[in-house]
Homo-oligomer: A and B are copies of this chain.
Amino acid sequence: MDPLTAICPPPRSEIENVLLGHGSGGRLMAELLAGVIAPELGLAEDGAAAVPTEDAAIVDLEVAGGHGEVIVSTDSFVVTPRFFPGGDIGELAVNGTVNNLAMRGARPVAMCLSYIIEEGLGIDELRAITASVARAARSAGVRVVSGDTKVVGKGAADGIYVTTTGLGVRLRCAQVSAANARPEDVVLISGPIGLHGTAILSVREGLGFEAEIASDTRPLHDLVAAMIEVSGASVHALRDPTRGGLAGALNELAEASGVGVELDEGAIPVPETVAAACDLLGLDPLHVAGEGCLVAFVAPDAALDVLVAMRAHPAGAQARPIGRAVQAEPGRVRMHTLAGATRVVGMLVGEQLPRIC
Q: How far is the CA of A116 from the CA of B116 in the complex (A)?
A: 10
Tell me which of A155-163, A292-300, A309-317 binds B: A155-163
Task: Decide yes or no: A110 and B59 within 8 Å by CB, A119-B19, A122-B17 being known contacts.
Answer: yes
Task: Decide yes or no: A72 and B145 within 8 Å by CB, A109-B61, A116-B116 being known contacts.
Answer: yes
- Residues facing B in A115-141 (CB within 8 A) are 115-124, 126-127, 130-131, 133-134, 137-138
Output the least CB separation between A92 and chain B (Å): 13
Is A65 an interface residue, CB under 8 A from the partner? yes
Question: Cβ of A148 and Cβ of B75 under 8 Å apart?
Answer: yes
Is A354 an interface residue, CB under 8 A from the partner? yes
Question: Cβ of B167 and Cβ of A52 under 8 Å apart?
Answer: no
Question: Cβ of B57 and Cβ of A146 under 8 Å apart?
Answer: yes
Question: How many copies of this chain?
Answer: 2
Task: Decide yes or no: A64 and B74 within 8 Å by CB, A16-B124, A123-B18 being known contacts.
Answer: no
Give which listed residue, B24, B68, B151, B163, contacts A354 with CB less than 8 A. B151
Residues of B within 8 A of A23 (CB): 117, 149-152
Give which listed residue, B76, B157, B167, contacts A114 with CB less than 8 A. B76
Tell me which of A37-45, A232-240, A266-274, A318-326 binds B: A37-45
Task: Provide the A39-83 mask, 1 if CB < 8 A to any CB of B, else 0.
Answer: 011110010000010101101011111111110111111100000
Output the least CB separation between A9 and chain B (Å): 18
Residues of B within 8 A of A40 (CB): 127, 130-131, 133-134
Question: Cβ of B146 and Cβ of A74 under 8 Å apart?
Answer: yes
Output the least CB separation between A71 and chain B (Å): 9
Q: In the complex, how many residues of chain A place their beta carbon closer than 8 angstroms to a beta carbon of chain B?
A: 88
Question: Cβ of B121 and Cβ of A18 under 8 Å apart?
Answer: yes
Question: Cβ of B126 and Cβ of A36 under 8 Å apart?
Answer: yes
- Residues facing B in A11-42 (CB within 8 A) are 15-24, 29, 32-33, 36-37, 40-42
Residues of B within 8 A of A42 (CB): 134, 138
Question: Cβ of A43 and Cβ of B76 under 8 Å apart?
Answer: no
Is A89 an interface residue, CB under 8 A from the partner? no
Task: Decide yes or no: A144 and B18 within 8 Å by CB, A68-B64, A74-B112 being known contacts.
Answer: no
Is A153 an interface residue, CB under 8 A from the partner? yes
Q: Can you report 13 A-B residue pairs in the complex whose CB atoms are below 8 A from each other?
A: A15-B123, A18-B118, A32-B149, A37-B130, A41-B137, A59-B110, A61-B68, A61-B109, A65-B65, A76-B115, A76-B116, A153-B355, A157-B161
Given contacts A59-B143, A157-B157, A167-B167, 11 further A-B contacts (CB under 8 A): A18-B117, A19-B119, A36-B126, A37-B126, A41-B144, A68-B68, A73-B146, A76-B148, A78-B116, A116-B116, A150-B161
Binding site for B on A (CB under 8 A): 15-24, 29, 32-33, 36-37, 40-43, 46, 52, 54, 56-57, 59, 61-70, 72-78, 109-110, 112-124, 126-127, 130-131, 133-134, 137-138, 143-153, 155-158, 161, 163, 165, 167, 169, 351, 354-355
State the 7 A-B residue pairs at the shortest beta-carbon distance, nearest first: A23-B151, A63-B68, A68-B68, A74-B112, A57-B145, A40-B130, A165-B165
